[in-house]
Structure 1
């Protein structure tokens, strides 16, 4: 397989995370970047576009306020959510 070199500017935080990962796992940066790119591109190709979220969201102040309100007003988790997160659920005693 032929190889090409690419370059990209990344944040200091991303670079530090990459450095920690390659050090901890004994990998080369190029291998980690290529694997991550292939993984990401495959996901973009296979998943519907409306379910792929960016790693960071930019909210207007009003949107952020509404989001905080919804999180603070969140009710109890449903039985399905409890099962999803590995909690034991007794359907007879769970009003959700």
Structure 2
């Protein structure tokens, strides 16, 4: 068995709550769960092509965030979205 070392990491409250809920439900020790999760995640990152990995957190600038919010609030699809939706129906029968 490998010698264990201690690490320290800051996590969100939500992640901590999920961790504690899982530990209570399964009886798995926190350290064991973190070890398994890290190994699983790191192995997946090694085996998957880089272009298919979607990171769970996006960081946007204030300017780009405001632009996203403006587009969401307008409720109008962009020309690119209309084209995509139209092209997606090319194989479907018309009603």
State the TM-score, normalizing by the size of structure 1.
0.63
Q: Which structure 1 segments of 5+ residues have no match?
A: 82-90
Higher RCO (CA < 8 A, seq sep 6+): 1
In the alignment, the residues of structure 2 paired with residue 73 and residue 6 of structure 1 have an alpha-carbon distance, to the nearest angstrom, of: 51
What is the Cα deviation at residue 12 of structure 1?
A: 4.8
Q: Which structure 2 segments of 5+ residues have no match?
A: none
* Local SS of the residue matching 1:16: helix
Pairwise CA RMSD of aligned residues?
3.2
* Local SS of the residue matching 1:31: helix
Summarize deviations over 1:7-29 as a string: whole Å, max 9, x none.
21223512222111111222111
Aligned positions of 1:1-96 closer than 5 A? 1-13=1-13, 14-68=15-69, 69=71, 72-74=75-77, 91-93=92-94
State the TM-score, normalizing by the size of structure 2.
0.63
Q: Which moved more, 1:41-50 or 1:4-13?
A: 4-13
What is the Cα deviation at residue 66 of structure 1?
A: 3.1
Q: Which runs of 4+ in 1 moved over 3 A?
A: 70-78
Residue number in structure 2 paired with 1:86: none
